[in-house]
Structure 1
Amino acid sequence: MAIVTAQDKHLSVEDSIYFSEPYPYVLPIMGAKVHSVKIRPPLPFGVMVNALAGYQKLALDNMAVGFGNYTNAGSPTMIDISDFVVFDETKAQTSTYNVRLDAWVLPFLNVYGIVGKTKKADININLEKPFPLSVSTEVTGTYVGYGAMLAGAVGPVFVSLDGNQTYSYNPRLDKPAKISLAGLRTGPVFKFNSKPEMNVSFWVGAMYNHFNGDTEGSIGALDLAPDAPAHINEMQTSLDNWYNNLGTVDQIKYAIPYNLLEEGLTRLEDDVENGYINYAFTKAIEHPWNMVVGGQYQYNYHWQLRAEIQFLGDRTAGLFSLNYRFGIRGKNWFSK
């Protein structure tokens, strides 16, 4: 993240020479006007490499299960258990990297595109009621996206508002998963009088995450546990205990799904080698806001290193970035 800041009252020799000549780059629009009041914006184009690792708590909804047999064609009938299913805490552990190409189209507006790959995303889902069931999925895939950032400074303090949207593609998904992020950051920029190209900045802020997606899959009966028949029997016992502990009204209300689950587990136990459980659910983020704390070291106008920690809310992650900036020389667009 390059930061727009006003120049110090006493310019360095290098900056004095820079401002004595016409603005040299095609972007940003109005760059020549900013140049005339001795404000040096970031070099207009950038290539940023980002690496992120962390975990995200997920809220699950619209849970359904079905009991099938590999010897029978067709998909099993799905049983909606959303009203009474109880989950243990669900987390997704993620490791991802991406490349971001950006351009300052205005002195205060940066637009960018993203292409990246999710190296690993482990999602562990544990049902507690009406019967115990553990589902673990490992997801890898590519994603593309776009975004924009508004940024400016008041003296040595900068403020930025960033938003982007990405689309993740995975063979297990019928359509790409859409993820939206928005962040507000502010903090001081510290300059080095002896090295005008160098600075260090720190910031605090808040980030909003929005994600939803449908997940479908299956797990074979033999994969349920090392001793699958005994585990299925344990699932049946847990299902019966759950139903018998319900009040009369709830027993009447959930009689149909209970009987379907009981029949499905019985068929599963009768043919363990060929039986499987289908599952489907919707993932979302229950608490989408979290805090961010970060810092950046700018070695010169071309190179910056950045690190950021995201915490609180349902997301904990660490981000590391390397940014290279450059300019394309030519007449500044829309300048006289």
Structure 2
Amino acid sequence: MLKKTALLLIAGIFAPLTFAQQSFFPIWGDEAEKLGYTLPKPYGFSISYMDMSNPITVNSIDLTGHPVLEAIDVDANQADFKGSNITLRGDVWVFPFLNVYGIIGYTQGQSKARINSVSCDRGAVNGIVNNALCSAIDQVGSNLPDNAMFTLDMDGGTYGIGTTIAGGVGNWFALLDMNYTYTSISAIDGNIKTFVAAPRVGHRWEYDGGRELRVFVGAMYQDVEQYLSGDLKSLGLPSELAKAVDALAPDAGFEVSQSAEEKWNGVVGFQYAFNRDWDILMEAGFGQRETLFFALGRRF
């Protein structure tokens, strides 16, 4: 049944359709065409893939499950995130200058942070035993190997909404794309909330048969907030520290808050339409955040 449903969905996306020709959208489309503008077909589906590498700021690491753990301070404020996602997008041009869309997909990634040191605040705990444990953790935490890391695997489903505002003069165009996505992490408790705003400017060339090439440059603003929690063992702590924590509290947990270190980066790319139905888009981002994006689109 699932296979049959998937086949019907694919057939519906890629089969020739005529309903768009009688579509209500885009509003004011006839007026825009009378002024000489060539408009895309109103409805679209696309599949895309993005690869990304991004420095991350670790805002806080809190340990839970025992008073001594709650007194521990982990110094690991910088992390590197590497990940990718694949998404399906459906969109409609509501006005000639305004597109709205929905996104559903899957994201997988991993962040790694070097642990500089681990210390325990003995003034925050009571009792001889707890103070002795704090002293032992201080001893272990101040002699960590240079490659001591904690690792977070962040895989899960992604969904979101967005809008594009576009305009142009002659063959020059400008647009502003904005979207908000939410990723629910499957392996651990947590989520990634991302807001993106990407202004671009470019030039287009039209050819026979509906072919068109657009080349653009721009920037991308990305505000990422990651909230993660789970079993402390899943952090991949150094073995010396993991053994000490396990002996102290086998059910110990963690809570981590992270955000993007650099919110802006530059982008350059192109979009090529084979005809009025099919197009491809490729975009590269450069700066502290590096991205590579591919998309194949179908319009109706």
Q: TM-score, normalised by structure 1?
A: 0.68
What is the RMSD of the two structures over their aligned residues, measured on CA atoms? 2.6
CA displacement at 1:316 relative to structure 2: 0.9
Asked whether the 8 Å contact 2:155–2:187 carries over to 1, the reply is: no
Q: Hey, what's the Cα distance between the residues in 2 that align with 1:216 and 1:29?
A: 46
Cross-structure match for 2:166: 151
Asked whether the 8 Å contact 2:199–2:220 carries over to 1, the reply is: yes
Asked whether the 8 Å contact 2:46–2:88 carries over to 1, the reply is: yes
Letter of the 2:70 counterpart: I
In structure 2, stretches of 5+ residues that fail to align are 1-20, 119-140
Relative contact order: is structure 1 or structure 2 higher (C-alpha 8 Å, sep ≥ 6)?
1
Matched, 1:124 2:118: no
Q: Residue by residue, what CA displacement relative to the aligned partner does 1:45-96 show, whole Å, maximum 9, x if unpaired?
A: 0001110112121101122235xxxxxxxx33342556xx533741111121
CA displacement at 1:174 relative to structure 2: 4.9
Asked whether the 8 Å contact 1:159–1:187 carries over to 2, the reply is: yes
Using a 3 Å threshold, how does the CA distance of structure 1 residues 297 and 80 change in structure 2: closer, same or farther?
farther
Q: Residue by residue, what CA displacement relative to the aligned partner does 1:295-334 show, whole Å, maximum 9, x if unpaired?
A: 1111111111110001214x211000001001xxxxxxxx
Give the 3-state SS of the residue equivalent to 2:33 in structure 1: helix
Q: Residue by residue, what CA displacement relative to the aligned partner does 1:220-275 show, whole Å, maximum 9, x if unpaired?
A: 49x655xx4xx34xx9xxxxxxxxxxxxxxxxxxxxxxxxxxxxx8x648x49x85
CA displacement at 1:196 relative to structure 2: 4.5
Asked whether the 8 Å contact 1:63–1:80 carries over to 2, the reply is: no
Q: Residue by residue, what CA displacement relative to the aligned partner does 1:140-199 show, whole Å, maximum 9, x if unpaired?
A: 11111101110011111110001000111123565643211010011110222xx15111
CA displacement at 1:285 relative to structure 2: 1.1
Cross-structure match for 1:115: 104
Identity score, percent: 26
Of 286, 298, 302, the match for 2:277: 302
Q: Hey, what's the Cα distance between the residues in 1 that align with 2:275 and 2:77?
A: 49
- Structure whose CA Rg is larger: 1
Q: How do residues 127-138 of structure 1 correspond to structure 2 at under 5 angstroms?
A: 127-130=115-118, 131=141, 132=144, 133-138=148-153
Asked whether the 8 Å contact 2:112–2:149 carries over to 1, the reply is: yes
Q: TM-score, normalised by structure 2?
A: 0.75
Cross-structure match for 1:31: 29
Using a 3 Å threshold, how does the CA distance of structure 1 residues 224 and 164 change in structure 2: closer, same or farther?
closer
Q: How do residues 194-233 of structure 1 correspond to structure 2 at under 5 angstroms?
A: 195-220=208-233, 224=237, 228=239, 231-232=240-241
In structure 1, stretches of 5+ residues that fail to align are 1-22, 67-74, 236-264, 327-336
